[in-house]
A and B are shown apart, each in its own frame.
Chain A
């Protein structure tokens, strides 16, 4: 999703990648309030205005090193002074463009007029920079001489460079008190860039604004997985959206192979992360509970050589979930077919025990399995499954965790060798366990 975010500035991307996940309700709510305002803004302004803002944001550069130097009272060189001036003018321009459309204060951009006037002694209001003649009369004289006597240029440049350095020192001192404001302006522009990109992504991919859940229950209507949906669309097929609700108790999803169980888990993980990073949600409607930590365990390395090690890695991952559940944290864990790589007797025991252990920890656990196990206090959902030659990917609530026995039918529909499938059928009939 991040790759598909059309950010204007490389700095914004770096900043976004460094941002921590939001875990407080108010923080997330505030972030969506801001996103709402940008959504209204994008809906209202004409395309040229929007393009102007986006074009301006392309000029946002990563000047963190320069700002750090300014904080540390170092003397900035010409390139750094240029960067500061460029940013100050950019921030002022973008602020003006947003204010024209009732966006003042949505993202706080500090006023940098003084910074601009320090770096723009001639009031030209253009984002270029050099040690201007008007900073120093003596410097001006030297430059006049340079033009008149090019043969003395090297000597004159040497004299000028000392004067220039003292001007730089003076400018750096003047700018030092504004270091924090400049830093804030840079971040504000990145936030504007992110918000505009998020709004555009929402419109392109049909994402929706989520609502914060107050009762710990997460509800999705018509949830989809954008990547899978796009891949299907390329083959002229539709993604069948899924409705799902879960609270702070374990939820067990069973269903036939190829029933989209893993896609459901992946979508749930994606939605939760998008929510806690303040993105649009791939669902018709979404009411989401905030979590402190999100665990996604997918034992997907299905190679023979890795049989043991993938089991070990999976056990360690789930172990981390159990350990975390004993701390006082609100946790969501999504576990895809745990213990799938070991023998079914012990595997089923491990999965049943996992449900029992995690049942009273107040965590949102969504787990898929092929094992026939006692659900205990877990809610059971089942993929509707293979009907009339096609797969119905919707989830229905069932009373027990009994797994559907559709593997042979599905294998048959894939055109798998009939001798093999029929022999399996006979074995089941003569010896059902």
Chain B
């Protein structure tokens, strides 16, 4: 969807008829998984999840919902504010922890209890037999999340897995395992429109990084730690340094290096070193997914400008960005201006869902 299209959708959505043909619901149904990622607390991720769950066609599609890690606690661990429960509709499947399952406020049928334990007990999977509220907390590691998704698709014929995807340091599970993604941003991320726009645009740039080549995927996917490079004859070598955080990384003996892979976090210092190294000028820098990139927008831009390339092993298609113009401290940005500016900057549709809901 181009920028202008996005704008007209937005205008339509903020007009009088907004529920019918909600645009990104149809986009979501093109994929078998969706994660909804909040860039900060109170950026409206839960609102967005509610909005999506309310509108998915449960009669024709089998839908399963889970959350990454412990993001479903009743009381927010950081701000001590009450956390919202998710409203599920009849027929939806969900994965949550034992503890939260016992607190459910709906009638549901248990279909699986996993062996894997989280801090809130094992992950249980059930099907909602009536609508109602549930606290979500799901698999806490990347591999268990992927396994859960696989089981849902294979054993229970689930058409779409929706992940409440916190960008949390508490959890090693990454929302990037899903095929598609919605980002929730808002005044809580920055109270200044232009800062908010540029910070969000940076994340969007990272989410949109290209997927690396098939052959790279094959050789790099199993490597979950360390620094590696692939030379011209497609041979894989390990670098001495263990992480890109190491101070004394030497790029020696890397003749003919074609691809440089950072399995862990990518940070400013490392990116700068790669940029300043003449031998690595045309190297393709690969990271696992966008959540592993911890570089400032400035360094990132400098690297790209200098002709650098960064690609990822797993990538989600970014479907839309939602905004919550209200910050927790009560400051409210102008919704229309924010949506318009952000949409222009990222070339994607931007929605203020609360405003949309208000016009029902």
Q: Which residues of A contact B (CB under 8 A)?
A: 10, 61-62, 77-79, 82-83, 86, 127-130, 143, 146-147, 150, 153-154, 157, 160
Contact = CB atoms under 8 A, between A and B. Distances in A.
Contact of A153 (B98, B108, B132): B132
Contacts of A77: 102
A141 to B, nearest CB: 13
A203 B111 CA distance: 36
A154 B105 contact: yes
Contact of A128 (B101, B102, B106, B109): B109
Contact of B111 (A61, A83, A128): A128
B107 A146 contact: yes
A130 B107 contact: yes
Contacts of B129: 130, 143
Nearest to B111: A128
B124 A79 contact: yes
A129 B131 contact: no
Nearest to B116: A10
Given A61-B115, A130-B129, A146-B130, A79 B110 contact: yes
Q: With a 10 A CB-CB cut-off, give which of B98, B101, B113, B131 has the most chain A CB atoms.
A: B113
B94 to A, nearest CB: 13
Contacts of A127: 111
B90 interface: yes
Contacts of A146: 107, 130
25 contacts: A61-B113, A61-B115, A62-B115, A79-B98, A79-B101, A79-B110, A79-B124, A82-B110, A82-B113, A127-B111, A128-B110, A128-B127, A129-B110, A130-B110, A130-B129, A143-B130, A146-B107, A147-B130, A150-B131, A153-B105, A153-B131, A153-B132, A154-B105, A157-B106, A157-B132
Nearest to A127: B111
Contacts of B124: 79
Size band of the B side of the interface?
A: 20 to 34
A157 B105 contact: yes
Contacts of A130: 107-110, 126, 129
A322 B106 CA distance: 67
A86 B110 CA distance: 10
Contact of B115 (A10, A78, A153): A10
A129 B109 contact: yes
A13 to B, nearest CB: 11
Interface string B34-54: 000000000000000000000
Nearest to B108: A130
A78 B130 contact: no
Contacts of A150: 131
A150 B107 CA distance: 12
Nearest to B115: A10
Contacts of B90: 147
Contacts of A61: 113, 115
Given A79-B124, A129-B110, A130-B109, 5 more contacts: A130-B126, A143-B129, A153-B106, A153-B132, A160-B107
Nearest to A147: B130
Contacts of B127: 128
Contacts of B107: 130, 143, 146, 157, 160
A327 B213 CA distance: 69
Contacts of B113: 61, 79, 82-83, 86
A249 B135 CA distance: 68
A77 B126 CA distance: 15
Indicate the member of A77, A78, A127, A129 with the most B CB atoms within 10 Å.
A78
Interface string B318-344: 000000000000000000000000000
Contacts of A147: 90, 130
Contacts of B110: 78-79, 82, 128-130
Nearest to A81: B110
Nearest to A77: B102
